[in-house]
Amino acid sequence: MTAETTQPAAPAPGLNVQRLSTALGALVTGIDLAEDTTEATVRCLQDLFLEHQVLCIRGQSAVTPSRQLAFAAQWGEVSVHPYVPSIEGYPGLMKIHDPTPVTQRWHADTTHAPCPPALTMLLARVLPPLGGDTMWADAYGAYEQLSPGLRHTLDGLRAVHRGTELAGQAGLERDAVTQTHPVVRTHPLTGRKALFVNGDYTSHFEGWTIEESAPLLEYLYAQVARPELVYRHRWQVGDLVIWDNRCTQHAVVGDTGGAERVLHRVTIAGDRPR
């Protein structure tokens, strides 16, 4: 997916697209990624992705781990998480288990990295009978609906992002998982601005104390989580959901009751936020 793409690709034969909410998200059916990952198909999906921010491609249970990685590589460089291990034999493919406090907070993935992922792909393998939905929020809308005065203030701020406690448990020093990014980032392909602070990784504004930063950060987190900006996804086995890590945030609903929940995640390397 490159900035040189100027014309939308023609829809793949049999492909159907249905919007999932007024804010973001689209359901894609009529495609089998175990068989069809041609350049034309992938380009069509990439165009839909930029338009809708979140795509659910339904019915992909036949996609193997190798095939998921190969499909992901058509979108960019597969990244390997700095401290969460990959599935053995499949570098870059992570096994996501039951909801945790980290995944239940609104966040974008790995924003403590110098170049956080551009996008994430999550394939549902095993699901509980009930619960375990994932919610996505429109970070474009969260920024665009702020007052002009607050937008002007935020445009000049940067924030410090730090890895979670899992980084320390993996033996990484704090400096290795600490980065400073703009509070508002500009999407490299769409040119739109989005809020880029989140409750998992953002510590404070650069040049501010943690105590000074907390009230404004909490206000911004609340804007991202506004119901009218959120799409809530009820998973089906075989759902492959792709989301734009640069302009969305997500959170898992932790209501599985301890039932098994397994999803396979791949992230695609991004650029340094600007």
State pLDDT tens for residues 10-64. Answer: 556 689 999 999 999 999 999 999 999 999 999 999 999 999 999 999 999 999 9
Angle at 77 between CA 264 and CA 244, to 5 degrees: 65
Q: Is the pLDDT of residue 272 over 90?
A: yes
Catalytic residue among 43, 105, 107, 187: 107
Whether 20 is in a domain gets the answer yes
Residue 193: pLDDT band with limits 50, 70, 90: very high
Candidates 159, 156, 89, 96; CA nearest to 132 is 96
Answer with the residue of higher pLDDT: 3 or 262: 262
Arithmetic mean of pLDDT, 175-179: 81
Please indicate, yes or no, if residue 205 is contained in any of the structural domains: no
Q: Can 265 be counted among the known catalytic residues?
A: yes
Dist CA 189 CA 223 (whole Å) = 24
pLDDT at 264: 97
- What is the length of the chain? 274
Query: In DSSP terms, which residues pair with 126 in a beta bridge?
Result: 262
Q: Encoding tokens for residue 52?
A: 């809708």
CA atoms of 79 and 75, how far apart (whole Å): 12
Query: Is residue 243 pLDDT above 60, yes or no?
Result: yes
Convert 127-163 to b/e letters by CB count within 10 Å (16 or more is b).
Answer: beeebbbbbbbbbbbbbeebeeeeeeebeebebbbbb
* pLDDT one-digit tens code per residue, 201-240: 999 999 999 999 999 999 999 999 999 999 999 999 999 9
Domain ranges, residue 82: 16-100+117-129+233-247+257-268
Q: Which pLDDT score is estimated for 170? A: 55
Partners of 135 in the β-ladder = 232, 251
Evaluate whether 159 touches 184 at the Cβ level (below 8 Å). Answer: no
- Which residue out of 43, 52, 246, 265 is catalytically annotated? 265
pLDDT score at 169: 56
Residue 167: predicted pLDDT: 57
Number of domains in the chain: 1
- Per-residue pLDDT of 98-143, as tens digits, reads 788 889 999 999 999 999 999 999 999 999 999 999 999 999 999 9
Cα–Cα distance, 127 to 237 (Å, whole number): 7
Cβ neighbours of residue 269 closer than 8 Å, sequence gap 6 or more: 76, 77, 78, 79, 115, 117, 118
The C-alpha atoms of residue 58 and residue 235 are separated, in whole angstroms, by 10
Q: Is residue 162 part of a domain?
A: no
From 52, 109, 200, 233, active-site residue: 109
pLDDT of residue 5: 38
**Dist CA 202 CA 185 (whole Å):** 14
Is residue 220 situated within a structural domain? no
| Selected residue with higher pLDDT from 3 and 132 | 132
Is 242 domain-assigned?
yes
Domain presence at residue 213: no
Place of tokens 């993996």: 170
pLDDT of the residue at 4: 37
In a domain, 155, yes or no: no
Q: What CATH number did the domain enclosing 96 receive?
A: 3.60.130.10
Contact between 87 and 228 (Cβ < 8 Å): no
The mean of the pLDDT values for the chain is: 92
Distance (Å) of CA 103 to CA 18, 68, 100, 219, 237: 27, 22, 5, 20, 20
What are 140-143's contacts with CB under 8 Å, separation 24+?
140/53, 140/187, 140/192, 140/193, 140/194, 140/247, 141/23, 141/229, 142/194, 142/195, 142/220, 142/223, 142/224, 142/226, 142/229, 143/184, 143/193, 143/194, 143/195
Q: Is residue 34 assigned to a domain? A: yes
Q: Which of 161, 250, 261, 264 is flagged as catalytic?
A: 250
Q: What is the mean pLDDT of residues 69-93?
A: 93
